[in-house]
Amino acid sequence: MTSDQPDSGGDTQRGEGGEFHQTSQETLTTSQGAPVVDNQNSLRVGAPGPTLLEDQAFRDKIFRFDHERIPERVVHARGYGAHGVFETTAPLPEVTVADLFREAGEKTPVFVRFSTVAGRAGSPDLARDVRGFAVKFYTREGNWDLVGNNIPVFFIQDAIKFPDLIHAVKEEPDRGFPQAQSAHDNFWDFISFMPESTHMTLWQMSDRAIPRSFRFMEGFGIHTFRFLDEHGASTYVKFHWRPVLGCQSVLWNEAVKINGADPDFHRRDMWDSITRGDFPQWDLAVQLFDEETAQGLEFDPLDPTKLIPEEDIPLRIVGRMTLDRVIENEFAETEQVAFCTQNIVPGIDFTDDPLLQGRNFSYLDTQLSRLGSPNFTQIPINAPTCPVASFARDGHMQTTVPTGPVNYEPNGRSGAEAGPRARPQLASVTSFETEVSGVKARLRPESFADHYSQARVFWISQNDIERDHIVDAYVFELSKVVDPHIRIRVVANLRNVDEKLAVRVAAGIGIPVPEPSEPFAPVRDDLPPSPALSILRNPPGTFAGRKLGVLVTNGTDAELLDALRSGVAEAGATIEVIAPKVGGVTLSDGQSTSADAQLAGAPAVLYDAVAVIPSQGEIDELAKDPAAKDFVNDAFHHFKFIGVGEYADRLFEKVGLRGRLDAGCLRITTAATTGEFLDSCADLRFWDRNVFE
Ligand code: HDE
């Protein structure tokens, strides 16, 4: 109890007479529940020691600490989760007996984990990468895991290639970098020999791979699944998540800067929006089709490198997911959640998509390695909310206590003692009954052979700005590749997608246009574009859910700031006040307002639109600040809408932009002028800006 060191307070404090007494707080204990008497000093013989082995409180604490880490996910290590609910709006009883799609208004709890693929758990959020979009539905008939991505197709057609793909994209093994990026030799070397990856790499080089946030991206189940009705009849189904706020991405230059300014940009956005009650929402839509339609499609629906254009089979919205609860503990929930593609429920079934078949083996295996015991299903985040009754027993970390004398079946006991029984009546709705025959061999269907035609459809579906971004991304990535042969092979493949694309990429990296590679199947140029594949052709037309950054100084017009605040709230967006000092500013009316952020830590890349409303008295000082100059310079070059206050010109002049203020830079001099500015912000970016002057 005695010590020469000061006590930190906490659970104990020094009383009047020098003795310790308990405060009203809960008592700190060891893992065994014994009270801890001193959390600052280990048990020693004299000062400084030696420390005694018998100090069980110390040993318990260090032992627990030493074992805090579990293996991070081999892919999708960096992720962020949230709780929510899925509400069925348009039931599908005619095609599936799945419990959650039976009735309108049915609510199913969900847990969602968004992730990047390549980076480690500590990598930045805005890597150019595919995003995982994994949803666990806790249905009344078991957990259904829809483990998807934000891109509707995948790199490979057979799961056997997955380890190679992932090895290639991750850090190069000899040096351990680059981290969380595909812009290196190994990735493009592999891709250059995998023409089937071309379609997905086009998506990956598009703005889809740098989403504004999880709230603004689509999700896809990718594979074709089956719905089974009460008679066991099958309907093919593809799952799509549509963000209610619309799709949105950042620019590559923004992504690079966001990673420095706020590597947690995406998870913070998720946390902030849920905690302020602005719940992220997605509609779940399905594409349904029968066997005959499947036969008539341009591409094999079991080929995961292909999608079915919405224009061919329209989306049918069946429900809405709302994420309304943040996690309470990152490890217990986001890290320990174990998604398994094989977790399906009656009414939903697999197809023979070879990628899906391989995944069904992989996920269970990986969870055992990550979580260390088959009892991972008992961890609260993984435990079904419906009753679990099985004869599975024992194992590491068994937390349930099965009762009764019987742990096998069949048995001759009766009543509760007999334990659970299988329900054969459900056989036809859990596994599609079909005849299968064929040669046992390592085969790939002929119908999987066309690797370029749909990549071409994606390319021609993008608008000019999106095409520029794709070209820029290829040029950026291939410029990081050292081996010139790899660059040549990639461009040779691109020639099969589109001649102009290949020519532009070749010019961008400074090589002659190579001969095209030999496609396995003739490339089709008769397929029409699919406008639904473009983000910019489908603008949300709203500023809702977005964020305005307002740069203020002492003396800023209080009425103007007020008008911006209320206008932004009306638009369903949020506002952050940025000031040279975090303590805030005194406004024109003498009132002080605190700042949400200090200028150096709040670059314009963190906002969807900005307003600059300094006072006359402080503009000169502000215009000297490099962070203020970067703020307006970046906002301008990232095509943002800019509200320009009466006294802001000097700052724009300092960065050579004063004479270039365009229709996307709107004057906001009085409260009345803020309306037009905020209305413009609904367009998200002013793409007509000439940034190349
Ligand atoms: Fe995964 N994938 N994957 N994957 N995947 C994993 O499981 C795998 C694939 C996806 O937030 C792992 O729990 C194989 C496609 C997401 O916890 C592992 C193949 C799609 C997540 C695994 C694929 C995905 C994973 C690693 C090729 C989109 C994160 C950790 C056949 C439809 C889930 C883990 C989370 C995670 C294997 C391909 C999405 C190793 C073998 C296609 C969103 O089991």
Average pLDDT rounded to a whole number, residues 565-570: 98
Burial class from Cβ neighbours inside 10 Å (0-12, 13-18, 19+) for residue 36 reads: middle
- Rounded to whole angstroms, the Cα distance separating 125 from 187 reads 20
Give the percent of the chain with pLDDT over 70: 97
Q: What is the DSSP annotation of 547-601?
A: EEEEEE-TT--HHHHHHHHHHHHHTT-EEEEEESSTT-EE-TTS-EE--SEEGGG
Residue 158 has pLDDT above 70, yes or no: yes
Altogether, the residues listed in the chain come to a count of 693
Strand bridging mode 547-552 / 574-579: parallel
Residue 9: partners with Cβ closer than 8 Å, 6 or more residues away:
none
- Distance (angstroms) between ligand 1 centre and the Cα of 70 equals 18
- Distance (angstroms) between ligand 1 centre and the Cα of 75 equals 7
Residue 12 has pLDDT above 60, yes or no: no
Where do the domains of the chain lie, and which CATH numbers do they carry?
67-180+214-378 (2.40.180.10), 452-533 (1.20.1370.20), 547-683 (3.40.50.880)
- Rounded to whole angstroms, the Cα distance separating 155 from 147 reads 16
Mean residue pLDDT of the chain comes to: 95
CB 270 within 8 A of CB 297: no
What is the per-residue burial (b if ≥16 Cβ within 10 Å, else e) of 189-226?
bbbbebbbbbbbbbbbbbbbbbbbbbbbbbbbbbbbbb
Single out the catalytic residue among 39, 41, 67, 76: 76
- Distance (angstroms) between ligand 1 centre and the Cα of 169 equals 14
- Rounded to whole angstroms, the Cα distance separating 328 from 48 reads 39
Whether 354 lines ligand 1, by a CB cut-off of 6 Å, is: no
Three-state DSSP class for residue 644: strand
User: How would you list the strands of the sheet with 574-579, edge to edge?
Assistant: 597-598, 574-579, 547-552, 609-613, 642-644, 665-667
CB 238 within 8 A of CB 308: yes
Whether 113 lines ligand 1, by a CB cut-off of 6 Å, is: yes
Three-state DSSP class for residue 175: coil
Average pLDDT rounded to a whole number, residues 597-609: 98
- Distance (angstroms) between ligand 1 centre and the Cα of 241 equals 18
Residue 15 has pLDDT above 70, yes or no: no
Whether 30 lines ligand 1, by a CB cut-off of 6 Å, is: no
Burial class from Cβ neighbours inside 10 Å (0-12, 13-18, 19+) for residue 148 reads: buried
Residue 10 has pLDDT above 50, yes or no: no
Q: Could you confirm whether 76 is annotated as catalytic?
A: yes
Omega cis (within 30) before 50: yes
Whether 75 lines ligand 1, by a CB cut-off of 6 Å, is: yes
Q: What is the pLDDT of residue 21?
A: 54
Strand bridging mode 642-644 / 609-613: parallel
Residue 17 has pLDDT above 70, yes or no: no
- Rounded to whole angstroms, the Cα distance separating 112 from 100 reads 17
Q: What is the pLDDT of residue 528?
A: 98
Average pLDDT rounded to a whole number, residues 546-564: 98
Of 307, 283, 361, 345, which is closest to residue 90 (Cα–Cα)?
A: 283
Angle at 570 (CA atoms; ends 565, 571), nearest 5 degrees: 100
pLDDT, one tens digit per residue, over 187-227 is 999 999 999 999 999 999 999 999 999 999 999 999 999 99
Average pLDDT rounded to a whole number, residues 334-354: 98
pLDDT, one tens digit per residue, over 481-526 is 999 999 999 999 999 999 999 999 999 999 999 999 999 999 999 9
Single out the catalytic residue among 143, 149, 259, 554: 149
- Rounded to whole angstroms, the Cα distance separating 211 from 216 reads 7
Task: Enter the tokens of residue 350.
Answer: 């697999």
CB 156 within 8 A of CB 196: yes
Of 465, 459, 466, which is closest to residue 688 (Cα–Cα)?
A: 465
Whether 355 lines ligand 1, by a CB cut-off of 6 Å, is: yes
Q: What is the pLDDT of residue 492?
A: 98
Give, in order, the Cα–Cα distances in Å from 364 to each of 80, 343, 638.
Answer: 20, 9, 44
Longest dimension (CA), the chain: 91
Whose C-alpha lies nearest to ligand 1, atom 25? 76
- Distance (angstroms) between ligand 1 centre and the Cα of 342 equals 12
Whose C-alpha lies nearest to ligand 1, atom 3? 359
Whether 219 lines ligand 1, by a CB cut-off of 6 Å, is: no
Whose C-alpha lies nearest to ligand 1, atom 43? 132
pLDDT, one tens digit per residue, over 656-680 is 999 999 999 999 999 999 999 999 9
Q: Residue 368: how many CB atoms within 10 A of its CB?
A: 13
pLDDT, one tens digit per residue, over 273-320 is 999 999 999 999 999 999 999 999 999 999 999 999 999 999 999 999
Whether 74 lines ligand 1, by a CB cut-off of 6 Å, is: yes
Ligand 1 atom closest to residue 159's alpha carbon, by position in its atom list: 31
- Distance (angstroms) between ligand 1 centre and the Cα of 456 equals 27
Average pLDDT rounded to a whole number, residues 157-181: 97
Q: What is the pLDDT of residue 174?
A: 98
Of 454, 457, 462, 455, which is closest to residue 207 (Cα–Cα)?
A: 462
Whose C-alpha lies nearest to ligand 1, atom 29? 76
Q: Residue 305: how many CB atoms within 10 A of its CB?
A: 25
- Distance (angstroms) between ligand 1 centre and the Cα of 291 equals 28
- Distance (angstroms) between ligand 1 centre and the Cα of 148 equals 8
Confidence category of residue 2, pLDDT binned at 50, 70, 90: very low
- Rounded to whole angstroms, the Cα distance separating 127 from 508 reads 22
Pocket test for ligand 1, best of 131, 146, 147, 341 (most atoms within 8 A of CB): 147
Three-state DSSP class for residue 52: coil
Whether 78 lines ligand 1, by a CB cut-off of 6 Å, is: no
Of 421, 346, 345, 425, which is closest to residue 390 (Cα–Cα)?
A: 421
Confidence category of residue 3, pLDDT binned at 50, 70, 90: very low
Q: What is the pLDDT of residue 20?
A: 52
Three-state DSSP class for residue 669: coil
Least confident residue range of 19-23, 178-182, 471-475: 19-23
- Distance (angstroms) between ligand 1 centre and the Cα of 334 equals 15
The H helix count followed by the E strand count for the chain is 18, 20
Whether 117 lines ligand 1, by a CB cut-off of 6 Å, is: no
Residue 11 has pLDDT above 50, yes or no: no
Whether 605 lines ligand 1, by a CB cut-off of 6 Å, is: no
Residue 5 has pLDDT above 60, yes or no: no
Note the pTM of the prediction, 2 decimals. 0.95
Whether 152 lines ligand 1, by a CB cut-off of 6 Å, is: no
Whose C-alpha lies nearest to ligand 1, atom 22? 363
Whether 165 lines ligand 1, by a CB cut-off of 6 Å, is: no
- Rounded to whole angstroms, the Cα distance separating 183 from 201 reads 12
Give, in order, the Cα–Cα distances in Å from 657 to each of 519, 639, 643, 688.
Answer: 49, 13, 14, 16
Angle at 183 (CA atoms; ends 178, 187), nearest 5 degrees: 90
CB 448 within 8 A of CB 304: no
Whose C-alpha lies nearest to ligand 1, atom 11? 113
Q: What is the pLDDT of residue 24?
A: 72
Residue 177: partners with Cβ closer than 8 Å, 6 or more residues away:
171
Confidence category of residue 635, pLDDT binned at 50, 70, 90: very high
Confidence category of residue 18, pLDDT binned at 50, 70, 90: very low
Whose C-alpha lies nearest to ligand 1, atom 42? 154
Average pLDDT rounded to a whole number, residues 338-344: 98
Confidence category of residue 22, pLDDT binned at 50, 70, 90: low
